[in-house]
Chains A and B, each alone.
Chain A
Amino acid sequence: MTRVKGSDLMRVALRTPLLQATWNYERQQGLGWAWCLKPVLDRLYPDPELRRARLAEHTAYFNTQPTLASLALGVIAGLEEQRAGGAGPDADGVSRVKGVLGSALAALGDRLFWSTLRPFAACLGVVLALGGTWQGAATMWVCYNALHLGLRWQGVAWGYREGQAVLGEALRRRLEDAVGRLSVIGAAMVGVLVALLMIPGGQPRTVTFQTALMGGLVLGLLTVIRARPSPTQWALGMGALCVAAAWLR
């Protein structure tokens, strides 16, 4: 039985940044998924016809949070290895596992990366950037990518090693804990950021500035539960109103 080598998994990991290169509404990450998995399929299926058939299967619809997709790629690499040896699930079975992994990892990853880690890294970066230096952006980038790139590159080997058990209670608990801790620290950081904006360097800003900042906060909290208009549309409208007010005064 042909086995997947460590170098194959490494090549899969190096391809993961291109998972979303061909993102589209029909198959979403499907084509990118096939591209990432190709080194493993090259190893397992020396027969070109069979390999192309497997590649075509993997171009089907798939979508998940892009960082945690590495775990799913590792798990499916393991399943394909079993399948190539005649012991694993058939095409439908692999497709079902992909579907389950995709939605479960999206639920975990969207909360961790989009709703928590990215705002956290951005707040940390802004707190430092208020001093007018480049360190804010560098800190933001490092803070996010330490986990993002770490999981992206290590995740394939981890998923391969653990198989479908990777989505067990231990991972869920670790990710939930990370979300909880980052959220608490993030909430505190927003408090510090608001104070720093109002009293930069110990010198209070004007009453107009402080009132407008609080007004923006209250408006934001009132509008946050509605998806439309989006915060960007609100911001554009408010900016236009401020220009109009400056013209009329």
Chain B
Amino acid sequence: MNLAYLTTVVFGGIAALDATPVGQTLLSQPLVVATVLGAVWGDMRIALEVGIVLQILAVSTMPIGARTPEDYAAGGVVGVGLALGLSSHHPFIMTREASQMLGVLTGLAVAIGGVPLIRWQRRQNEGLSRWCEEELGRGREGALAASHRAAIGLAFAVGVVYCAVCLALGVWGLGALAERESLRLAKAWSLAQPLWLGLGLAHVLHAFIQRRLVRGAVFGGALIVAWLVLMVGTPPR
């Protein structure tokens, strides 16, 4: 269990690196995070339930220009990690659904709460940039590599610490709630999950359709055809 928490927190640092400073390969996206953590914790179902909701919502976050996007790298790790941590002791469906509800809610709050932290890092990078230019003026070319090492180290450390603090607070503060109020939280999950999925899919759809009637018709046609195939084509159990 402790090893699973430790791996989750370290993966928080890796996801923080992938989100902007290194690579941007989507390793930090909630679905990938959920799959990795699901394998680590040995519970793919819960991990994917939370990961899918967070992924659909994360897609509408655009890291365009100087905009500071919501921190779904930390949000995904903490949300999925918390749901897995809270549900790990409880085989009951109610408690597991309550854990999923708390996981997604915490993941969203962590994603929003991470924005000032990203801004802070970027301001630290401004100082690093000025320092690097001064050092280049003094003839130290190695300053370029040193500033990159420092920025990457800072991003990793901030990712690890932020995920560790949020995860620890979540498990400590919400563990009893998930047990005691599992019925109410499970009811809330049954309502919130489709609402979240619908909200996120609307934003994805908007990105694809871009007010083009033909693309809207393609969406409608695909929905109807898939509906008919699933309703008529699937043999009854």
A interface residues, Cβ below 8 angstroms from B: 17-18, 20-28, 30-32, 34-35, 38, 48-49, 51-52, 55-56, 59, 63, 66-67, 106, 110, 114-116, 118-123, 125-126, 129-130, 132-134, 136-138, 140-141, 144-145, 148-149, 183-184, 186-199, 201-206, 208-210, 212-221, 223-224, 230-236, 238-240, 242-243, 245-247, 249
Contacts and interface: CB of A to CB of B under 8 A. Distances in A.
A235 B196 contact: yes
B36 to A, nearest CB: 8
A209 B136 contact: no
Given A130-B52, A191-B220, A232-B57, A199 B231 contact: yes
B35 interface: yes
Interface in B114-167: 122-123, 125-126, 128-129, 132-133, 136-137, 139, 141, 144-145, 147-148, 151-152, 155
Contacts of A231: 57, 60-61, 199-200, 203
A249 B126 contact: no
Contacts of A215: 194-195, 198
Given A26-B126, A55-B136, A183 B209 contact: yes
A240 B191 CA distance: 11
Contacts of A140: 26, 29, 31-32
Contact of B144 (A31, A204, A213, A233): A31
B55 interface: yes
Interface stretch (B7-15, B43-51, B83-91): B43-51
Contacts of B187: 246, 249
Contact of A188 (B21, B194, B218): B218
B208 A216 contact: no
A23 B70 contact: no
27 contacts: A17-B22, A22-B148, A25-B66, A27-B126, A34-B144, A55-B136, A59-B136, A110-B64, A119-B204, A119-B207, A121-B26, A122-B31, A123-B204, A129-B31, A136-B48, A137-B32, A145-B25, A192-B226, A196-B226, A212-B191, A220-B201, A230-B70, A232-B70, A232-B108, A238-B192, A243-B101, A245-B191
A191 B219 contact: yes
Contacts of B45: 132
Contact of B31 (A18, A137, A217): A137
Interface of B: 20-27, 29, 31-32, 34-36, 38-39, 44-45, 48, 51-52, 55-66, 70, 101, 104-105, 108-109, 111-112, 122-123, 125-126, 128-129, 132-133, 136-137, 139, 141, 144-145, 147-148, 151-152, 155, 184-185, 187-210, 212, 214-216, 218-227, 230-231, 233-237
B141 A55 contact: yes
A27 B131 CA distance: 13
Contact of B222 (A115, A188, A209): A188
Contacts, number: 338
Contacts of B29: 122, 140
B60 to A, nearest CB: 4
A194 B200 contact: no
6 A-B pairs closest in CB distance: A216-B198, A220-B202, A202-B234, A191-B222, A195-B226, A191-B223
B135 to A, nearest CB: 10
A207 B92 CA distance: 24
Contacts of A129: 31, 35, 48, 51-52
Contacts of A25: 66, 122-123, 126
A122 to B, nearest CB: 5
B210 A183 contact: yes
Contacts of A246: 184-185, 187-188, 191
A216 B199 contact: yes
